[in-house]
Structure 1
Amino acid sequence: MSRIKEFNLPDLGEGLTEGEILTWLVKVGDTIELNQPIVEVETAKAAVEIPAKWAGQVQAIFHPEGTTVEVGSPIIAIDTDPGAGPLEAPSTTATPTGDLPTPSAASLAAVEVAPAEGMVEPGLIGGPAPGGRTAVLVGYGPRTTTAKRRPRKALPPTPAPAPAPAPAPARAPALTSAAVDHGVVVGDKPAAIPMIPAPQVHDRRDEVSGGGLVLAKPPVRKLAKDLGVDLRALTGSGPLGSITREDVQQAASGATTAAEPVAVTSVATSAASFGADREQRIPVKGVRKLTAENMSRSAFTAPHVTEFLTVDVTRAMKALDRLRGRREWRDVRVSPLLLVAKAVLLAVQRHPMVNSTWAGDEIVVKEYVNLGIAAATERGLIVPNVKDAGRLSLRELADALNELVQTAKSGRTSPAAMSGGTLTITNVGVFGVDTGTPILPPGESAILAFGAVREMPWVHKGKVKARQVTTLGLSFDHRIIDGELGSKFLRDVGDFLTDPEAALLAWT
């Protein structure tokens, strides 16, 4: 068995299929221990550190930071027995012929692959190969999957005047699928193929006549083909001179208007390029991508109804002040959200159908409450939840909410903490707004928006006085919760916040 083992991106649960490499915690040549964190990966739900599956020495890192990798794809190679001496090159059935030099065994390292992948081309890991060539995958290098990547077809050469053609050089045998799988860049010309070319910092580069290069991603190439734009005639404005969609669209706009009068062409070109240098394009991925998908699915699946209630919470705010003054609560952060959470949990006990899920041919009523708290983070909106919150005391609930918020702000919320929610609170009041019409998290039947607490004129005991007032907004799934049930639930939450001490005495 080979000493070199490839560690694949593990399945992090909840149907996640990919992750983005945020930070490598090790580098090539480092000696690592079993279960030592080696990489931080951002999934669609959270940023998590992944521990090493084996102890040993890092031989190669297949994906640089910022790369999105599919679950199951190799991300790092580890020599599990670095003290056993130099690595030996594996035997191969595809040996280059002609005048191509053959790399020495000392410059190569073996990589263990599954039998289904066949053999591995030499030179994938290790030092420089003979002839001045550099082996791929030294440190960072491209990594693809055999099932999804195939050699690109060559572009037809553009005719150009040239001297009498020289004799065609001897061809090297075709590279195997295993070589393509391990990031070998295949040239597009039917010329002799070097043993292994140096690693490239970009991909999808095609050779054209005259030795020029066209750098463009496959979607851009398809767009250019559809619009009839010759990529070889364009100058790229993207990174490393790559051709972008905007470059193709501008070229297409110019080509379309070429036959029009000069004035029309000028206007069209100006409109196409106006403000292009003042636009920011943000990739939709990770948490933001998952949130968009979930919200779209929920909004067009569950029939939403939203009701509002404005309540006087002056007594609740005074109760919080008294609570903060108690000796056993002096080290606890107490916020109005704590009382809102307690009100929701008590109201669920009176109306358990609110804490349920629509399952097609049945309604699943939960006897536990995993209370979700919507949190805005730098990576987007996440909704971690307090497990079985209904069983917690008020002090335990306060501690759980504080820990949940701090973990979310630090970006360390785990996927498990964001799964299994049954009922959610979104505290939009922290942003200074009165309330909103929140969209249900998928699988839940109700979500409560808690607005800002403001001092407002209010009729109290027959007189207009300045009171602390807030507005609640309850969105619910009308397949499960009708207007009566939703109204009663919202009214009970409001009654608790109006006079929490009296409600506790009456309800418990």
Structure 2
Amino acid sequence: MTTMTETSARFREFKMPDVGEGLTEAEILKWFVQPGDTVTDGQVVCEVETAKAAVELPIPFDGVVHELRFPEGTTVDVGEVIIAVDVAPGSGDAPAEPEPVQEAVPEPEAEEAPKGRQPVLVGYGVAESSTKRRARKGAEVPGPAAAEVQAELNGRAPVAPAPSPVPEGRPLAKPPVRKLAKDLGIDLATVTPTGEGGIITRDDVHAAATPATPEQPAPAVEEPAAAVSPAPAAAQGARETRIPVKGVRKAIAQAMVGSAFTAPHVTEFVTVDVTRTMKLVAELKEDKDMAGVRVNPLLIIAKALLVAIKRNPAVNAAWDEAAQEIVQKHYVNLGIAAATPRGLIVPNIKDAHEKTLPELAGALGELVSTAREGRTSPAAMAGGTVTITNVGVFGVDTGTPILNPGESAILAVGAIKLQPWVHKGKVKPRQVTTLALSFDHRLVDGELGSKVLADVAAILEQPKRLITWA
């Protein structure tokens, strides 16, 4: 009979790590392995969604998967064991079935990360949490122990899980695409891939979901960050559809309520002729120094805001409620609000004030593509100082944006439209847009906020000021 010591040495358990900054829980979106599969150090075994982003979890040791403790769709506390791995297969009999996961069990020393090895995730290890686990109704149960847990939750006998497909034969698709397919009820094995290297794309999944519907032309917008995934289909005849608020969307809701009712918002507006900016954009697209990067009006607007902040540095600050201090920032981490299938996120470009125009263009392009693919990390969304939200891509003239928590200002950019405008004493058709700047009135007074907004507008009207004011 295998002793407890031998069992502890042979079977290692991987806990849910803190993949962000002080997060207490995460939802298991997708398992990429099943009991009996061989795993290697660094192999991604599952995808989880936190309040900030979707993250793939690599396992830090080799072995054979013995048990998956939770089914897909379960919200798990940080520090809970999510998978058990046999690190010495064939060395003896398998241990007895583990105690129910609801009960507290001692943590074997072998669970700790190997000494001398850097953790692969932020906060790898365990964070204390009192949040209770929650399982989604009807979630698929991938492992034996998970089946017992789900059965106990549902008040019925456990049902043996269906055999899982061989991992090597899985269709090639990124985790966000797999989640989209799951939400739409599409079997990826039936989807024809069009991506490079045989990878299934979002468009492939949507095409499989509606093969008889002709593709509609996309609206003529300049820089949509991402298409929001369709809402769950309502049952025939249903008068309401309820959508659980969790993950990124839950965090956004809490943050916006906190910001709106904590910081006294003031919003100012200015309408500006950006015809010369649009001409500059066209010229930069042909410039060899800008080859390989995406050039659009948002790039010039971002650079204009950075110059305005340089001229008015007091706007780049934060309010420390505990210390009752204004914290002046001598760096600019420029946030760009992006709509994604999981909700609005605001990743930021670190030290944007130090970047040249080509470098800023490259960083913007990377930020947008990463958000579209659902790969934005929690670190990329932390530490922002000011934000730009481009509502103009949706054809909206402007808005009154809510501050990103911890920041002092946010600039909303409206749609750029051809409008009649008085230019050199005559009414002419000109490219015009409306800017809106919201700021925290505790640390930014009306004069400072007005100067920042006026500077941005002046640069967009006369882009040569990017040189003379820089």
- Following TM superposition, by how much is the alpha carbon of 1:277 offset from its aligned partner in structure 2, in angstroms? 2.1
Aligned residue in 1 for 2:176: none
Aligned residue in 2 for 1:12: 19
Pick aligned residue for 2:148 from 199, 211, 215: 199
Letter in structure 2 aligned against 1:287: V
1:84 alignment partner, SS class? coil
CA contact (8 A) 2:54 2:375 kept: yes
Aligned residue in 1 for 2:468: 506
Pick aligned residue for 2:359 from 396, 406, 416: 396
The structure-2 alpha-carbon separation of the partners of 1:205 and 1:461, relative to structure 1 and needing over 3 Å to count, comes to closer
Aligned residue in 2 for 1:74: 81
Alignment gaps of 5+ in structure 1? 90-107, 121-144, 150-181, 186-197, 208-274
Aligned residue in 2 for 1:284: 245
Residue 41 (str. 1) matches residue 48 (str. 2): yes
- Following TM superposition, by how much is the alpha carbon of 1:200 offset from its aligned partner in structure 2, in angstroms? 6.6
The structure having more radius of gyration, on CA atoms, is 1
Residue 60 (str. 1) matches residue 63 (str. 2): no
Aligned residue in 2 for 1:468: 431
Aligned residue in 2 for 1:445: 408
Q: Separation in 2 of the partners of 1:64 and 1:473? A: 46
1:69 alignment partner, SS class? strand
Matches within 5 A, 1:117-132: 117=105
- Following TM superposition, by how much is the alpha carbon of 1:309 offset from its aligned partner in structure 2, in angstroms? 0.4
Aligned residue in 1 for 2:270: 309
- Following TM superposition, by how much is the alpha carbon of 1:205 offset from its aligned partner in structure 2, in angstroms? 5.0
For each residue in 1:374-419, what CA deviation from the matched residue of structure 2 results, as whole angstroms up to 9, or x when unmatched? 0000100000000000000000000000000000010000000000
CA contact (8 A) 2:418 2:431 kept: yes
Pick aligned residue for 1:409 from 367, 372, 377: 372
CA contact (8 A) 1:6 1:111 kept: no
Aligned residue in 2 for 1:455: 418
Q: Separation in 2 of the partners of 1:323 and 1:118? A: 63
For each residue in 1:23-59, what CA deviation from the matched residue of structure 2 results, as whole angstroms up to 9, or x when unmatched? 1111110111111111111111111111102211100
Q: Separation in 2 of the partners of 1:506 and 1:448? A: 23
Residue 487 (str. 1) matches residue 450 (str. 2): yes
Q: Separation in 1 of the partners of 2:86 and 2:307? A: 56
For each residue in 1:271-322, what CA deviation from the matched residue of structure 2 results, as whole angstroms up to 9, or x when unmatched? xxxx982211100000100000000000000000000000000000001111
Aligned residue in 1 for 2:302: 341
- Following TM superposition, by how much is the alpha carbon of 1:475 offset from its aligned partner in structure 2, in angstroms? 0.2
Q: Separation in 1 of the partners of 2:105 and 2:339? A: 44
Pick aligned residue for 1:322 from 248, 259, 283: 283
Letter in structure 2 aligned against 1:374: A
Number of aligned residue pairs: 353
Q: Separation in 1 of the partners of 2:104 and 2:352? A: 49
For each residue in 1:319-371, what CA deviation from the matched residue of structure 2 results, as whole angstroms up to 9, or x when unmatched? 11111111232332111000010001011111111110001211000000000
Matches within 5 A, 1:77-92: 77-87=84-94, 89=95
CA contact (8 A) 2:304 2:466 kept: no
Q: Separation in 2 of the partners of 1:204 and 1:438? A: 42
2:82 alignment partner, SS class? strand
- Following TM superposition, by how much is the alpha carbon of 1:206 offset from its aligned partner in structure 2, in angstroms? 5.7
Letter in structure 2 aligned against 1:482: D
TM-score (structure 2 length as normaliser) = 0.71
- Following TM superposition, by how much is the alpha carbon of 1:65 offset from its aligned partner in structure 2, in angstroms? 1.2
Q: Separation in 2 of the partners of 1:20 and 1:200? A: 16
Alignment gaps of 5+ in structure 2? 109-128, 134-142, 157-235
Pick aligned residue for 1:25 from 20, 32, 49: 32
Aligned residue in 2 for 1:297: 258
Q: Separation in 2 of the partners of 1:117 and 1:199? A: 17
Letter in structure 1 aligned against 2:304: A
Q: Separation in 2 of the partners of 1:309 and 1:343? A: 15
* Cα RMSD after superposing both structures: 2.8
TM-score (structure 1 length as normaliser) = 0.66
